[in-house]
Amino acid sequence: MTDQEHSNLHPDDPETTGHSWDGIQEFNNPLPRWWLWCLYATIVWALLYTVAYPAWPMISGATPGLLGYSTRAEVAEEIDRYDALNADLRTQLTEVDLAGVTQEDMPDLYNFSIQSGGATFATWCSQCHGRGANGVQASGYPSLLDDDWLWGGTVDDIHQTIAHGIRNEEDPDARWSEMTAFEGILSDEEISQVVNYVLTVSDQEADTTLAAAGETVFLDNCAACHGDNAMGDRYLGAPNLTDRIWLYGGTPEAIEETVRHSRFGVMPPWSGRLSEAEVRATAIYIHSRGGGE
């Protein structure tokens, strides 16, 4: 180094490390030694940690660690703990009269049902009925929030539907309705007449002459299930045609499609797959969402 490079140094300045970049020199202010030891300690700690806890990747999975710690096992333990805590509520739920489970009369059981039923719904039911239970209108997945129920909207009705399913051939208790596919039975003209008639009963725009003729076709072919006034029949699962809710859509095209080819929505039975307590909690949850009768 030349003397010029020294010229900025003060006699009291610490020594330099000897490093120099563009004439800028680095003072050597040594770090405290304990700091170094702390660094070593963290390295040792890190190594011990990887031995004590799951860490090193192996061909199939990671080393389990000497402490046998596993978050998965911890979660399972937690779940078991809560299951045990809720065991009483669950037994109570399977024995109680469902209609009696309300916020006022049985707040604990009610809240448990809303929470656990909500979780079951999110896991198993939301795929078809939607996360918000609004169904997919016009695609045959009914909204569970409104006041229109094909098979009845009391909590017991809902419970039966969940437990046994819809059009489930294995179970004699399953809900079962079947509409005839009228293509070939009715002429094209008759079909168009009855479609217009159905549109008028639900207060929609329609061709009045066709509709007038359609009334006879309806009374002859449809009224057996849907009733003379088209209000449907819950016993048969025949929908009310006079209201504003259409499971498969209320447009002329959608109605014609239904008349010609019929519809055949299916819901799986959940008893057997879910515990009775889960089915009941889910029924209470759905009943509480604003549509319960």
Partner 1 sequence: MSSSDAPPKLYAAQEPIFPKKVKGTFRNLKWVIMFVTLGIYYITPWIRWDRGPSLPDQAVLVDMAGRRFFFFWIEIWPHEFYFVAGLLIMAGLGLFLFTSALGRVWCGYTCPQTVWTDLFYTVERWIEGDRNARLRLWKGKWDLRKWRLRITKWIVWLLIAVATGGAWVFYFADAPTLLRDLLTGQAAFVAYATVGVLTATTFLFGGFAREQICIYACPWPRIQAAMMDEHSITVAYRDWRGEDRGKGKDREGLGDCIDCNACVNVCPMGIDIRDGQQMECITCALCIDACDEIMEKTGRERGLIDYLALTDEANEREGNPKVPVMRHILRPRTLIYTALWSLIGVGLVVALFIRSEIGLTVAPVRNPQFVTLSDGSIRNTYDIRIRNMTQGDAVFRIGLTSDEILRVDLEGGQDLMVDVPADETLLQRVYVIARPDDPAATADRTELRFWVEEFGTNERAYQSQSFIGQGTQ
Residues that bind partner 1 (CB under 8 A): 1, 6, 9, 12, 15-18, 28, 30-36, 102-104, 130-132, 134, 143, 145-148, 240, 243-245, 288, 290-291
Give the nearer residue to partner 1 in terms of CB position, either 5 or 178: 5
Question: Which of 163, 74, 177 minimizes the C-alpha distance to 124?
Answer: 163
Give 29's DSSP letter: -
Q: Considering beta carbons, is residue 101 or 213 the nearer one to partner 1? A: 101
Calpha distance 240→226 (Å, rounded): 7
Between 99 and 266, name the residue whose CB sits nearer to partner 1: 99
Q: Tally Cβ neighbours within 10 Å of residue 27.
A: 11
Residue 185 DSSP class: T
Residue whose CB is less far from partner 1, 70 or 137: 137
**Smallest separation, CB 42 to partner 1 (Å):** 14
221 in helix, strand or coil? helix
Q: Is 43 or 62 the residue whose CB approaches partner 1 more closely?
A: 43
The DSSP line for 33-87 is HHHHHHHHHHHHHHHHHHHHSS-SB-SSSB---TT---HHHHHHHHHHHHHHHHH
Nearer to partner 1, 12 or 97 (CB): 12
Smallest gap, in angstroms, from Cβ of residue 41 to partner 1?
13
227-233 long-range contacts (CB < 8 A, ≥24 apart) are: 230/198, 230/201, 232/150
Question: Closest distance between partner 1 and the C-beta of residue 130, in Å?
Answer: 8
Query: Closest distance between partner 1 and the C-beta of residue 30, in Å?
Result: 4
DSSP per-residue codes, 93-131: HHHS-GGG--TTT-HHHHHHHHHHHHHHIIIIIHHHH-T
In angstroms, what is the minimal distance from the CB of 232 to partner 1?
11
